[in-house]
Each structure stands twice: as structure tokens, then as C-alpha cells.
């Protein structure tokens, strides 16, 4: 703990800034909540969301979005340590590293603290990350003048003993942080002593330690100074936890070298006036009608030649929502240019509505019709009976105000309604905007329709035999064609199967998905010519595709539902350029990894916070994050050409409520940045 200064410890240099500068610092937030052997720690997911939101809030600290990295559930030591090194190269002032998850002790090597990964096993140190490796990454990387380590895990205080182990006769913070290199200052904060656990009693909220830290950051100290240092925060957190009187005591620890804990860090919001005035009542009322949430993600776009081509949307969005009002939620954690996506808005205005006595429900696909300064027009496909196409006015990316118009029913060429349940899942609008290609899981089938009349045009497109249902093929019943994408030039049509064929299976929980490519001409016949495979995320299904270019670049929307946990939604960027044509491969089970499509994570919707600028009025189907629901439709607009998000593209997601009172029809808008 900090106390009287050791006379041998030098005072901070006179030219050091009096505050830890967020604009020249970098922060890595690492959290593990999803374990395969150890008990899950669902509170950790809330830790990452809430702590990031607090640190990026201009009213508190205001670190820029591109200087804070969130690393959820790193699966390998390099996935945990790598982002620390990346952030270290970015930080000139201070590098802050935070970890939350299970902490274990290696009792065979001097009680070494082990930070766990999703696959970690107790008494198997090789499945964990040694704390000394994390300290080495912090110590050896980059020009930062100060290093800060915050650990929220059981036995976390053991790290202080390890760092002082070189000379057990020495005392004080200067010894405890020796292994953080002879930098100008270091600070360590832990959630518990070396022999005590940390507590996470409520899976729906933060852990005890991080929850107290976030509370102090957000509420401030009424009797405190205008600026709060790390040690002042620590003392307040410690007092809050003691006041809770937990059944098993939890006493945080800290160590300080060269006065880092005393430097100004965050604004004391309890005594300082807000930086920006609250919005006027008229603005609040306008936004309360359709806005409901927050946060950031990453990806990019393509698809239509219609688009958000001008600066109007960016300028309009920036005027209403400065960058610090949102946060990063996705992309590769080691990406130094993260975030790759930002959640601009979401709206539940379509939920449980009806138009001309037809319910707006079961929306499973989305396609953009036009984009302009006044708003975005789209079509949404239902998977109900009868199959319907709803024209939608979405509003703008920064201010969603979705309104549905009278639906068009899909019919056969003679005008007769389809007798079987159509189960429409995939939708693309062809060049000229008069016809659409639509996929049905019933069959499965691919058909062309006249949008104005809803009538089928021409025969069904061929579906390869092995992609059909038994006895012709091995597609899983009700889990066949779920997505369609059309290349910008209209030459290639991509149909994605929702789940693996029975003969393909999965690779250690990652489904092996087939994507059928068709080649043809806009408005003409399309012929199957190649199949590609990619590994979806653990337990995830493919529910939508968007073609980004004419060379096999795709955006894939994955979704999964788990009872008790709710819905998971993520977007990945695929490249088929180097993938093998697997149309002649009987089973993908033993296919070499190099034969699959390259995939790059773009966003994880579960990483978005459930608070911030706006509130989720109605919780979705994810018990951990009320923002999430059953996203099935995805569309991407054209690249912005100016403004802060120049080079990014608008991304829209829509959820399928399945006609259920327990789910929501929810529209999301995001700004996304894709790989070139």
C-alpha cells in the first residue's frame, strides 16, 4: 500500500504531465467468462462492457476508441498477450492492462499466479497464462512512461508477492514493481490478497471488485478532489467492498512506484460540472420515440450500387453523436486500428406492429432499395405463411425511424399462393430494382420474383442434389438455404446453408458450412459452378451473406441460441479467393484448414454494452445483454466519402421475432470498417 515515500525512491520528473493523458495512453481490457471445464463467470462479460464504457466516457477519462482494446475469451496465450504488446506500441504516456477471469495457483512452482483461458484446467498450468508472461509483455513493449496492471481474479494479490520475490527482505511498492522494468512509474491493483478468492455473486452484473470500481468512476466521490488518482480510486473501491460485508471477506491490494497512484487520472464527476449540457426537452422527446441504444462494432459493406455515397450521413451523425458517445465492440482484439464497428442506433418501432391488418413479424432478410439524405428505403422478407415482402423506410443510420408499408405477397407465376409454408430466408434485389431472388428453406428452393406483383418469374433455379434434403441429399431438415448474396456486377450469386450437411459435421464445435456459388447474368439464368466451405464460430449458424466485391469477398452473419444464455450474434468477413472448390468433396470432415475460406472477425454484438447514450427499452433474448435478439437479416450500404468515418460503410441488421411475444423485431444500424 502507499505510505510515506521511501527516500531512495526518486520523485516524478518535473516534466511529467500531472495527469495520465488519455490521448497518449492505451488500454487493454481482457476478460474470460466462457469456460469449457471451469465454472462460467458471466459477470466478466459485464465487466468488459461497463469498464470500457466508463473509461471512454469524456465525462470520466475519455480515452479515444482507437486506443482501448477489448479482448473477450482469448483462446490461446498469444491471443491474451498479443494485444498487450500491440497496445504497448501505441502508448507514449501510460499503458493500462486489465484482466478478469478465474485465477489459479501453480502450487508446484512457488505459488505462481495463473491467468486462465476458456480451455484452462485446474492443476494443468500449460492450459493457462503465467502472470509473469503478462508482466513481461507489459514491461518490454513500447515507449510508455508508466505501466498499470489491474487484476480481478482469485488470488490476484499473489502477483505482488511474485514481483517482490527477488529480495524478500525489501518492502514497499518500489520492490513489488521491479519486474515492470525501470520505467518512470508503475502501479498494480488487485481484487484480492494472494490467498483469497474474488467474488462474482450475480451473473447478471459485474463482479464485486469491478462493479465497485465502475461505480466509483461513474458516481465520483462527493467529498473528494476534482481529479481522482488510481490510489484514491482504490481506497474508495476498498471501502465500498467492505461496506457490502461479503460473507467471505475480499480485500483489494495495491502497490505504487514513483507516485503513479497519486497522479490525476479521472474527473470526479460528483464535484465537477458536466462537460456538455443535457439535451433540450424537444431533442429528448424526439429521440425517445425510436432510439434505444448504444455502442460499437466493426465490419464493412457492399452489395448494392445504390448508396450512402455523400458526406451527409456522416456529418449529420457527427453533429448529433460525437465519437466518444459510442464504444468499440468487435473486430480482432489485436488490431491496432480497432474498433472496426460502431453501433449508431437501434429501434424497436416495428415490433408487434401491423400494416393493413397484416402483422410485421418473422422478418428474416433485409435488402436496401435506395439511400439518400432523407433516409434509407429497404425490403424485408418474412419467413411466415404467407410469404410477404414489406417495404420499409428506415430513417437514417444515425436516427432510425423504421416504418413499414403494405406488404407484397409472394405467389406462383399464375397468381396462386404457395400452398406449403414458404419459409423465405434469403433476399437480394437484382439490378434495376424490379426483380428479386429469394431463397426458401421449404424445398429448398431459389426463385425470381417481380417485386411489384409478387409473382414468380421463370423456373426455379437448380439446387445441387447433395445440398437437398434426404433422401436426395444430406441437408438438415429446416436448416438449408438461409442466406443469399449477389456480387455487385450481378455475375455471381452465393447461397449459404444455415448448418453443416449431415455428412460434413463440425470441427471441434465449429460448424463446417457450405456456400454454393452460381454464375450467370443479371435477370437471366444462374448455374451452380462451385462450392466453398468455411468454419463458422463455435456453435454458430450462418444466417445471412452480403457480397462485398466481384472476387469472392463476403460478409457473413452468424447467430446461435442457447437456452438459459440467449442469443449470440457475430459478423465475420470471408474471402473465397484462396478457398478450394469443394463441390466434388463428399465430406468436409477431414478437409485441411487451408482449403476453407479465410475469415476475419468483424463484430460480436454481445460485446456491446446495455447502457450508454440511450437505453434498451425492451430486453432482447440474451439474458446477459438486453440489446441482443434473433438477428437474421443484414444489408450494407455504400462507403462514406468524408467525415470521421470516411472509408467505413453503414451496416443494418434486423431480428426475427418468430411471431413470439418473447422476442423482438429490432433494427440495428452500425458504422463498419472492412479489410480491403
3-state SS of 100-158 is: ECCEEEECCCCCEEEEECCCCECCEHHHEEEHHHHHHHHHHCCCCCEEEEEEECCCCCH
Q: What is the pLDDT of residues 629-644, one digit of tens each?
A: 899 999 999 998 887 7
Q: How does residue 110 score in pLDDT terms, banded at 50, 70 and 90?
A: low
Bridge partner residues of 635 (DSSP): 652
Chain position carrying cell 442457447: 562
Which of 479, 457, 460, 455 lies closest to 468, judged by CA?
479
Helical segments of 201-353, H only: 208-219, 230-244, 281-290, 312-320
Q: What's the full length of the chain, in residues?
A: 676
What's residue 288's pLDDT? 29
Identify the pLDDT of residue 215: 93
Query: Which range scores top for mean pLDDT: 312-326, 581-595, 607-621?
Result: 581-595
Q: Which residues contact 23 (CB under 8 A, 6 or more apart)?
A: 63, 64, 67
Dump the DSSP string for 497-525: ESS--TTT-EETTEEEEEEEEEEE-TTS-
177 pLDDT higher than 50: no
pLDDT at 185 over 90: no
The single-letter DSSP state of residue 19 is B
State residue 470 phi and psi, 5-degree precision.
-60, 140
Q: What is the Cα–Cα distance from 193 to 202, expressed in whole angstroms? A: 21
Mean pLDDT, rounded, for 299-328: 30
Report the 10 Å Cβ neighbour count for 599: 17
CA 354 to chain centre: 32
Query: Torsion angle of alpha carbons 184, 190, 196, 198, nearest 10°?
Result: -170
- Beta 185-190 vs 146-152: how paired, if at all? parallel
| pLDDT(496) > 50 | yes
CA distance 94 to 78: 22
| pTM assigned to the model | 0.55
What pLDDT score was predicted for residue 263?
Answer: 94
Residues 252-284 pLDDT 10s: 999 998 889 999 999 999 999 888 654 443 333
- Residue 28 contacts residue 83 (beta carbons within 8 Å): yes
**Could you tell me the pLDDT band of residue 613, with boundaries at 50, 70 and 90?**
very low
Start-to-end C-alpha separation, the chain: 49
Say which residue the cell 470516411 belongs to.
646
Pick from 116-120, 162-166, 177-181: least confident:
177-181
Query: Distance between CA 39 and CA 613 in Å, rounded?
Result: 33
| Mean pLDDT, the chain, integer | 82
Residue among 469, 465, 487 at smallest CA distance from 478: 469
The CB density around residue 577, as the number of other CB atoms within 10 Å, is: 11
**% of residues, the chain, pLDDT over 90:** 58
| Alpha carbons 154 and 100: distance in angstroms, whole number | 9
Q: Under DSSP, is residue 320 helix (H, G, I), strand (E, B) or coil?
A: helix
Average pLDDT over residues 248-254: 87
**pLDDT score, position 343:** 84
pLDDT in tens, 531-573: 999 999 998 999 999 999 999 999 999 999 887 778 889 999 9
Q: How many helices (H) and strands (E) does the chain have?
A: 9, 35
The residues with which 343 forms a beta bridge, in sequence order, are 670
In terms of pLDDT, which residue wins out, 228 or 605?
228
Residue with cell 447433395: 466
The pLDDT score that the predictor gives to residue 615 is 58
Amino acid at each position: 500500500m502507499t505510505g510515506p515515500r521511501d527516500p531512495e525512491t526518486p520523485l516524478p520528473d518535473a516534466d511529467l504531465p500531472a495527469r495520465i493523458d488519455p490521448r497518449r495512453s492505451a488500454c487493454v481490457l481482457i476478460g474470460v467468462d466462457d469456460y469449457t471445464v471451469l465454472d462460467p463467470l458471466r459477470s466478466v462479460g459485464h465487466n468488459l462492457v461497463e469498464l470500457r464504457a466508463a473509461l471512454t466516457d469524456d465525462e470520466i477519462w475519455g480515452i479515444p476508441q482507437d486506443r482501448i482494446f477489448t479482448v473477450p475469451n482469448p483462446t490461446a496465450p498469444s491471443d491474451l498477450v498479443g494485444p498487450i504488446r500491440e497496445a504497448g506500441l501505441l502508448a507514449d504516456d501510460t499503458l493500462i492492462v486489465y484482466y478478469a477471469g478465474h485465477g489459479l495457483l501453480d502450487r508446484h512452482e512457488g505459488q505462481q499466479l495463473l491467468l486462465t483461458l476458456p480451455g484452462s484446467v485446474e492443476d494443468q498450468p500449460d492450459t493457462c497464462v503465467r502472470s509473469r508472461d503478462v508482466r513481461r509483455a507489459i514491461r518490454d513493449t513500447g515507449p510508455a512512461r508508466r505501466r498499470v496492471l489491474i487484476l480481478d481474479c482469485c488470488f490476484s494479490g499473489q502477483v505482488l508477492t511474485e514481483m517482490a520475490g527477488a529480495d524478500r527482505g525489501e518492502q514497499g511498492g518500489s520492490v513489488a514493481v521491479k519486474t515492470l522494468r525501470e520505467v518512470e512509474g508503475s502501479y498494480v491493483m488487485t481484487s484480492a490478497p494472494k490467498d483469497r478468492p474474488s467474488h462474482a455473486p450475480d451473473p447478471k452484473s459485474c463482479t464485486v471488485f469491478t462493479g465497485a470500481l465502475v461505480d466509483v468512476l461513474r458516481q465520483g466521490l462527493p467529498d473528494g478532489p476534482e481529479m481522482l488518482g488510481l490510489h484514491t480510486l482504490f481506497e474508495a473501491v476498498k471501502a465500498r467492498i467492505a461496506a457490502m460485508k461479503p460473507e467471505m471477506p475480499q480485500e483489494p491490494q495495491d502497490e505504487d512506484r514513483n507516485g503513479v497512484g497519486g497522479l490525476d487520472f479521472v474527473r470526479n464527476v460528483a464535484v465537477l460540472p458536466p462537460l456538455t449540457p443535457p439535451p433540450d426537452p424537444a431533442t429528448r422527446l424526439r429521440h425517445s420515440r425510436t432510439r434505444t441504444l448504444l455502442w460499437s462494432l466493426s465490419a464493412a459493406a457492399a452489395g448494392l450500387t445504390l448508396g450512402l455515397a455523400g458526406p451527409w450521413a456522416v456529418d449529420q451523425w457527427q453533429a448529433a453523436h460525437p465519437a466518444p458517445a459510442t464504444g468499440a465492440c468487435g473486430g480482432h482484439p489485436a488490431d491496432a486500428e480497432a474498433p472496426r464497428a460502431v453501433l449508431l442506433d437501434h429501434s424497436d418501432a416495428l415490433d408487434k406492429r401491423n400494416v393493413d391488418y397484416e402483422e410485421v413479424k418473422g422478418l428474416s432478410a433485409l435488402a436496401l432499395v435506395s439511400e439518400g439524405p432523407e433516409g434509407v428505403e429497404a425490403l424485408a422478407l418474412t419467413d411466415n405463411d404467407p410469404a410477404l415482402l414489406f417495404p420499409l423506410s428506415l430513417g437514417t443510420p444515425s436516427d432510425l425511424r423504421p416504418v413499414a408499408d403494405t406488404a407484397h405477397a409472394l405467389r406462383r407465376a399464375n397468381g396462386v399462393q404457395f400452398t406449403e409454408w414458404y419459409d423465405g430466408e434469403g433476399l437480394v434485389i437484382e439490378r434495376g430494382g424490379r426483380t428479386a431472388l429469394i431463397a426458401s428453406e421449404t424445398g429448398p428452393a431459389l426463385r425470381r420474383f417481380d417485386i411489384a406483383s409478387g409473382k414468380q418469374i421463370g423456373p426455379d433455379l437448380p439446387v445441387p442434389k447433395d445440398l437437398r434434403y434426404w433422401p436426395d441429399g444430406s441437408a438438415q431438415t429446416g436448416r438449408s438455404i438461409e442466406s443469399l448474396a449477389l456480387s455487385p456486377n450481378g455475375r455471381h450469386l452465393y447461397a449459404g446453408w444455415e448448418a453443416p450437411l449431415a455428412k460434413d459435421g463440425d470441427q471441434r464445435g465449429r460448424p463446417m458450412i457450405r456456400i454454393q456459388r452460381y454464375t450467370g447474368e443479371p435477370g437471366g439464368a444462374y448455374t451452380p459452378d462451385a462450392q466453398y466451405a468455411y468454419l463458422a464460430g463455435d456453435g454458430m449458424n450462418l444466417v445471412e451473406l452480403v457480397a462485398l466485391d466481384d472476387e469472392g469477398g463476403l460478409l457473413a452473419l452468424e447467430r446461435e441460441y442457447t437456452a438459459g444464455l440467449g442469443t449470440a450474434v457475430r459478423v465475420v468477413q470471408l474471402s473465397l479467393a484462396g478457398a478450394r472448390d469443394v463441390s466434388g468433396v463428399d465430406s468436409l470432415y477431414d478437409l485441411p484448414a487451408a482449403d476453407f475460406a479465410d475469415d476475419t472477425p468483424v463484430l460480436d454484438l454481445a460485446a456491446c454494452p446495455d447502457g450508454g447514450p440511450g437505453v434498451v427499452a425492451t430486453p432482447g433474448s440474451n439474458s446477459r445483454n438486453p440489446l441482443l435478439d434473433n438477428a437474421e437479416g443484414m444489408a450494407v450500404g455504400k462507403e462514406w466519402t468524408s467525415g470521421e468515418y470516411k472509408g467505413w460503410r453503414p451496416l443494418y441488421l434486423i431480428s426475427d421475432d418468430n411471431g413470439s411475444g418473447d422476442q423482438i423485431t429490432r433494427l440495428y444500424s452500425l458504422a463498419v470498417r472492412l479489410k480491403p
